[in-house]
Amino acid sequence: MVMSGLVSAFISWGHYIIAAFGYPGLFIVSIIGNASIILPLPTILFVIAFAEVHKDFWLVGLVSGLGAAIGELTGYYAGMGGRLLIEKNHKHLFDRTKKWVQKFGMFLVIIFFAATPLPADVIGIIAGIIRYDVKKFLLANFIGKAVKFTVLAYASVNAIDFILKMFVGS
């Protein structure tokens, strides 16, 4: 119940901020929405709705991707601060992720998690624990989040036209 109240409050707040400030509002909502660790806040809904209204899917993807990447820094710094506690209590998760990192490289793993529905917070925490370069962490997150949000924005902008063409005709 508390979770739904928090999500509802975030949606109301985000709607107000974006309506009042436009692209800078989307940037701020993306930061806050991705700053929560493990708790998913529906930033994607704002990206889709904003793109549908403004039609510039490239700019929507880049602005929300940058904000989301900055928001992911909370997981990174949580990992730096809680290194011993996190390593001790979640060893199995870190062992599995360590194998991915060794196989593909941390930069690509961060991009993959940022661009997909996988828990980017976990990778951020791990990056903080191993003291991965924060600039590379931020860049990889930006690439992944920008790709994800640009694709979603593109789909939003083009979905109505696509659906009308499919079912109504040209």
The residue segments making up the domain with residue 14 are 2-167
pLDDT digits (tens, 9 = 90+) for 28-74: 999 999 998 877 788 998 998 899 888 899 999 999 999 999 999 99
- Supply the pTM of this predicted model: 0.84
Q: What tokens appear for 158 in the block?
A: 């083009």
Q: What residue has token string 């991009």?
A: 111
Q: How far apart are CA 107 and CA 81, in angstroms?
A: 21
Q: How crowded is the C-beta side of 120, counted as CA atoms within 13 Å? A: 32
Question: Based on the structure, what is the number of domains in the chain?
Answer: 1
- Asked if pLDDT for residue 10 goes beyond 70, the answer is yes
- Asked if pLDDT for residue 87 goes beyond 70, the answer is no
pLDDT digits (tens, 9 = 90+) for 110-140: 999 999 988 888 899 889 988 899 999 999 9
Q: Could you tell me if 15 and 35 are in contact, meaning their C-beta atoms sit under 8 angstroms apart?
A: no
Which of 70, 147, 79 is CA-nearest to residue 108?
A: 147
Confidence of residue 104 (pLDDT cuts 50, 70, 90): confident
Angle at 24 between CA 18 and CA 58, to 5 degrees: 95
